[in-house]
Amino acid sequence: MSVDRRCGVRAYLRRTLSRLRPVLGLVALFSGLATPCFAAGLPVRSGVEVSDLAKLCRPAAVQAVASRLHIKVTVKQLPSVEDANTPGGAHFVAAARGLPAYCQVTGSFVTDPKSGRTANFQATFPAAWNQKYLQLGCSGHCGQFAVSDPAAPYVTITTQGKPGEIIRQGFATFATDEGHVGFAGGTWDIKGPGRIDEAALKDFLYRADEVLARMGKELTVAFYAHATGQVRHIRYSYFCGCSGGGRDALVAASYFPQDFDGIIAGSAYANLVQVAFQAAGTSLATLRSPGAYVPPKLFAQIEPIVMAKCDALDGVKDGLIQNPGACNFTPQRDLPRCPHDKPASHCFTRAQIDTVSTLITAVTDRRGQVIQPGYSVSELQALDLAKPQHPNAPNPWVDNGNPYAGLGGLGDAVLRVFAHHDDPSFHTRSLISFGSGGAGPVTDYRIIVPGAEAARDEALLRRGIGNDPAKFAKLIGLQHKLLIWSNLSDQLLTPYMSIDLYKRLARLYGGYTKLQRNVRLFMIPGTSHCSMGGIGPGHFDALRAIENWVEKGRAPDGLIASLYNPNSPVVPAGQKPLRTMPLCKFPEMAHYLGHGNVRDAANWVCPATDRSMLKIGASGRQAGEID
């Protein structure tokens, strides 16, 4: 079992949490943020040492190297909104406080030679290079480097390592803004009413990352060859991302897996369209009627009810629900109803119960076919039921053409802008309805959308969607490795997306045992999106796990996760973990031995033949979890 090295997190030292909130919202959403990629990589053994990195780390010198590449690269400073503070395009940082010297380079690279279309990039070259290439995914709809700069303290959200850990371990690291500047939903893709920039959309969906993989490796080899006078080739290449970066990772695994020996996909924003319907629907559920909104204080009363029914299902009452799909909680039966349906502070009206149901019940089409699984019951503690800013407007998430941050705004951007080309006559809310019953297995009150619309939109955006099992055949044929993980209390992206994808992969590729040769899934109880909070241990060393898997053939049966600071990604320096426990490979679930401290991983085990994560109760069935 892989054991981490106390992957502490000291985040947000250069930016406040409030500054990052628009990014962490769905950026963080989705990737992205990217999360636990890296707590402590393999030590640098044979590598490349640059004696005078400062001499090379100048804009003109780096440009001279880049000018010889097959892909056109321009070294330059990026706009401040992208959170890439590299004056002139190249910035040397001397060794200090335990961090080795490194050179950061920013600029643009051509993604389409025919049109000259470009995307921006950021590269980080450590003075001691381990001959490995690491590409970091973005977050949300990208347009920035807030969670993909290995030198930034808050990159811990992306990697779950200590600040600077990627540089200390010697990785040459690259990231891209995916072809546009700024995180504002989909406004960057609008050219005018009914017109979008198809090239910009293509870069966002897949092309910028695919081209970067080639350019980044070529520039890495050229940079160190120029610095040392000797060509050293890349030994291993990796990709790591969470949320929007998790989408980037699954797209890479689906369409260009040959570029990476190992890929880590965390809390993935796997299907833009499916998430968009859920995001818009849950947001609009609060507007169905004047009494549909559930105030935060009333919403908080749900968690104790869920815990009473579900906490002990894994054999121990410890505040963590390891398999929320096995629960038998239903809002219609288990929430206290208000007498005469009159609102009160201690009970729920019928409209409020239905609102809660829309969160944890699958989105279906009118025939009852599941479009997107619901959130897990263990996510209810973290879900945000904020109303749209303009509830009566045709586009309630838009103000003067700019979508607000958050799930609803990003979901609207996917459907209205990307799929319907900013058609002035199209409104996302016109697609959303609500109801219960029907012929399918999901019958509770839920979001209902047109199945034909979902199929149409997915076809249009297919190259940016990473949850088609058939697309993973090449990765498996190459014997490359994919490590997927997801937070079971993720308040932004339902973990059933990852679970259902993995179940479909097992069906297509010969069952779990065979699939686990190349693809493994780890579920993390009690943790919110990208492990940015929660009461469960959420910091673990996925990057070292995949390094060992790729480079030494040691497949991760379990990962030791640590909890440092409940409900916060911030970890004071030197703090010891408050709790540790193993994360078992799906479909195994961690089992308490029945003795010793329940908060110590030493007293838990991952039974090799266990199939506990496959058990499904009423909660999982209504959420649309695949049986």
pLDDT at 85: 76
> What average pLDDT score do residues 290-312 get?
94
Secondary element (H or E) of residue 228: helix 208-228
Question: CA 19, CA 80: separation in Å to the nearest integer?
Answer: 13
* Higher pLDDT, residue 532 or 46: 532
Residue 394 contacts residue 429 (beta carbons within 8 Å): yes
Instruction: Give the mean model confidence (pLDDT) for residues 568-593.
Output: 88
Confidence of residue 401 (pLDDT cuts 50, 70, 90): low
For 24-51, how does the pLDDT look when each residue is reduced to its tens digit (9 = 90+)? 343 333 333 333 454 333 444 468 999 9
CB 399 within 8 A of CB 390: yes
Residues 550 and 582: beta-carbon distance below 8 Å: no
Q: What is the pLDDT of residues 197-247, one digit of tens each?
A: 999 999 999 999 999 999 999 999 999 999 999 999 999 999 999 999 999
Which of 176-190, 197-211, 327-341, 387-401 shows the lowest mean pLDDT across its residues?
A: 387-401
Nearest-Å Rg of the Cα atoms of the chain is 23
Read off the pLDDT of each residue in 363-367 and give the average, rounded to a whole number: 96
Cα–Cα distance, 281 to 362 (Å, whole number) = 11
What is the mean predicted confidence (pLDDT) over 275-282?
95
Q: Determine contact, residues 281/358, Cβ cutoff 8 Å.
A: yes
CB 600 within 8 A of CB 41: no
Residues facing 129 on adjacent strands: 48
How far apart (Å, rounded) are the C-alpha atoms in residues 614 and 627? 7
pLDDT of residue 265: 96
Q: How far apart are CA 552 and CA 567, in angstroms?
A: 35
CA angle 182, 139, 534 (to 5 degrees): 130
Confidence at residue 356, expressed as pLDDT on a 0 to 100 scale:
96
Residue ranges per structural domain of the chain: 274-463
237-246, 384-393, 433-442: which has the minimum mean pLDDT? 384-393
pLDDT in tens, 592-625: 999 999 999 999 999 999 999 999 999 999 999 9
Model confidence over 48-102: pLDDT tens digits? Answer: 999 999 999 999 999 999 999 999 999 999 998 887 778 899 999 999 988 899 9
Mean pLDDT value across residues 159-188: 86
Q: pTM for the complete prediction?
A: 0.93
Q: Are strands 398-399 and 402-403 parallel, antiparallel or unpaired?
A: antiparallel
160-164, 195-199, 204-208, 370-374: lowest mean pLDDT where?
Answer: 160-164
Q: How confident is the model at residue 570 (pLDDT cuts 50, 70, 90)?
A: low
Q: Is the pLDDT assigned to residue 564 strictly greater than 90?
A: no
Spell out a b/e string for 62-71, using b for 16 or more CB atoms within 10 Å of the CB, else e.
bbebbeeeeb
Q: Which two tokens stand for residue 81?
A: 């909104």
Rounded average pLDDT over 421-446 = 95
Question: Does residue 626 contact residue 500 with C-beta atoms inside 8 Å?
Answer: yes
**pLDDT number for residue 14:** 33
How does residue 398 score in pLDDT terms, banded at 50, 70 and 90?
confident
Statement: residue 17 has pLDDT above 60: no
Query: Which of these ranges, 5-9, 119-123, 191-195, 201-205, has the smallest mean pLDDT?
Result: 5-9
What CA–CA distance (Å, rounded) separates 82 from 410?
Answer: 18
- 483-530 per-position pLDDT tens digit: 999 999 999 999 999 999 999 999 999 999 999 999 999 999 999 999
Identify the bridge partners of residue 378 per DSSP, sorted by sequence position: none
More confident site: 486 or 574: 486
Residue 11 in this model has a pLDDT that exceeds 90: no
Buried b (16+ CB within 10 A) or exposed e, 522-550: bbbbbbbbbbbbbbbbbbbbbbbbbbbbb
β 117-126/172-176 pair status: antiparallel
For all residues of the chain together, what is the average pLDDT? Answer: 89
Q: Is 99 exposed, middle or buried (0-12, 13-18, 19+ CB in 10 A)?
A: middle
pLDDT of residue 99: 87
Looking at 9-13, 279-283, 414-418, 576-580, which range is the least confident one?
9-13
In terms of DSSP bridges, do strands 132-136 and 236-242 run parallel, antiparallel, or are they unpaired?
parallel
Closest CA to 245 of 278, 190, 204: 204
Confidence of residue 537 (pLDDT cuts 50, 70, 90): very high
pLDDT, residue 46, reads 60
Q: How confident is the model at residue 541 (pLDDT cuts 50, 70, 90)?
A: confident
Output the six-digit token pair for 216: 């980044």
Three-class secondary structure of residue 73 per DSSP: strand
What are the tokens at 618?
Answer: 């009423």
Report angle CA 227, 96, 106 to the nearest 5 degrees.
50
For residue 476, what are the CA distances in angstroms to 210, 261, 267?
A: 19, 11, 21
Q: Tell me which of 462-476, 495-509, 532-546 is least confident.
A: 532-546
Q: Which of 38-47, 338-347, 420-429, 458-467 has the lowest mean pLDDT?
A: 38-47
